[in-house]
Amino acid sequence: MTGAKCSGHGRLDVEAALAEVKKLQSDRKYRDASGLFFIEGVRNFVQAIDNGFDVSTILFSEKLLTAPLARKLVRQTRRKGVNSVSLTPEQFRQISHTERASGVAAIVRQRWFKLHDVSPHTGLCWVALETVRSPGNLGTLIRTSEAVGGAGFMFIGGRVNPFDPDVLRASMGALFRQKFVRTGFSVLNEWIHHYSCHVIGASPDGTIDFHQFDYPGSTVLFLGEERQGLTQQQRDLCQHLIRIPIIGTADSLNLAVAGSLLMYEVYRSRRF
């Protein structure tokens, strides 16, 4: 934690921990400044541990936590000297946003990768985004990317926040198995040319249907904002523009739906 250390002993430590969690849940500026985010639930806790995330503080309730694996991981992590806070069921429910409180949560350090440390040849493909209106859409895209073996996401600028609680919830634990990079247009453009990447944008005015395109081995899918689509600056990075055909009267698809279709098409084209 960035504030008081918590060992589970004493009222003040508990109050400090609960206050820290509520701030991480509601204040993006604080999450960004501290480099931390909050997770809850057995699935997220196990995934964070299994994927080597740096756990700052564990919060648990002995009465609520019944999953044997999670209980074992809590014991092992505490033995390593990680801060821990023991909560009553009532205290735990104050910070739980799930229908049934699991009894285990943690404050975890965000994990970011530098652009020059990642390769376009890792995983099925990368997804590039500058703006996403709905955290749920981003969480769904992360979940799909993990499902198809995608490498991760490149976020242009600082608008997109993958460690938002709603993103984490929608990703269903997939967030812990994806790489995240924050970069800018000029740096990304240099990276693209260095690796001879193929950046493919999705747009209604694309020149070829997405299922007819031959996706190269080093593919970056660039997805535009839900309402406005790709900006001119984003389009300038793309070597190819593809379209998803719409037969009915709808003028566009949900971002998560469109992105998921594209990722699965890349997967299909590589397998068959």
Could you say which architecture CATH assigns to the domain 115-271?
3-Layer(aba) Sandwich (3.40)
pLDDT in tens, 133-146: 999 999 999 999 99
Under the banding of pLDDT at 50, 70 and 90, the label for residue 1 is very low
Domain regions of the chain by residue span: 11-109, 115-271
Strand 104-109 to strand 55-60: parallel, antiparallel, or no bridges (unpaired)?
Answer: antiparallel
Exposure on the CB side of residue 43, measured as CA atoms within 13 A: 11
Question: Within a 10 A sphere around the Cβ of 226, how many other Cβ atoms?
Answer: 17
Looking at every residue in the chain, the average pLDDT score rounds to 93
Contacts of 120 (CB under 8 A, 6+ apart): 126, 195, 197, 218, 219, 220
CA-based nearest residue to 102, from 57, 71, 77: 71
Give the DSSP letter string of 64-97: T---HHHHHHHHHHHHTT-EEEE--HHHHHHH--
pTM of the predicted model as reported, rounded to 2 decimal places = 0.92
CB 193 within 8 A of CB 185: no
Same fold, 11-109 and 115-271: no
Residue 188 predicted with pLDDT over 90:
yes
CATH topology of domain 11-109: 60s Ribosomal Protein L30; Chain: A; (3.30.1330)
Query: Locate tokens 């809850």: which residue?
Result: 40
